[in-house]
């Protein structure tokens, strides 16, 4: 019998909702972070590095390493491991420093 952490603590999570990642619907649960919802959907990378364009996603999971930066609702450089997922959130892959509009 497969048990989830929610089953173990008897949590009543409430209904799931959708966020989008690069235009694709991703299910999320109340209390999940953006990174957790993306991970659960099998999405492991949502940022590219400034030099070389290497993919990055969550690394430390506690907001210390900045590998999980994403653009959430148009705001770049959001640490996806700390941002609570909310219904209708729009998450997009962040390329480089996330400020292409500044022409830096």
- The answer to whether residue 59 is domain-embedded is yes
For residue 91, give the CATH number of its domain: 3.10.20.440
The whole domain housing 23 covers 16-95
Domain count, the chain: 1
* 101: pLDDT strictly greater than 70: no
- The answer to whether residue 2 is domain-embedded is no
At 53-100, the pLDDT tens digits run 888 888 888 888 888 999 999 999 999 999 999 999 999 999 866 665
- The answer to whether residue 5 is domain-embedded is no
- The answer to whether residue 31 is domain-embedded is yes
Q: Find, among 7, 8, 47, 13, the residue nearest to 32 by Cα.
A: 13
pTM of the model: 0.80
Average pLDDT of 6-31? 88
Residue 57 has φ and ψ, to the nearest 5°, of -145, -145
- The answer to whether residue 9 is domain-embedded is no
CA–CA gap between residue 98 and residue 87 (Å, rounded): 23
- The answer to whether residue 76 is domain-embedded is yes
């Amino acid at each position: 019998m497969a048990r989830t952490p929610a089953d173990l603590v008897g949590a009543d999570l409430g209904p799931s909702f959708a966020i989008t990642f690069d235009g694709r619907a991703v299910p999320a649960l109340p209390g999940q972070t953006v990174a957790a919802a993306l991970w659960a959907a099998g999405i492991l990378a949502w940022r590219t590095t400034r030099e070389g364009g290497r993919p990055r996603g969550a690394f430390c999971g506690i907001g210390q390493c900045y590998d999980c930066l994403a653009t959430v609702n148009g705001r770049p450089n959001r640490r996806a491991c700390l941002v609570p997922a909310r219904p209708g959130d729009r998450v997009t892959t962040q390329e480089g420093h996330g400020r292409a509009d500044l022409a830096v």
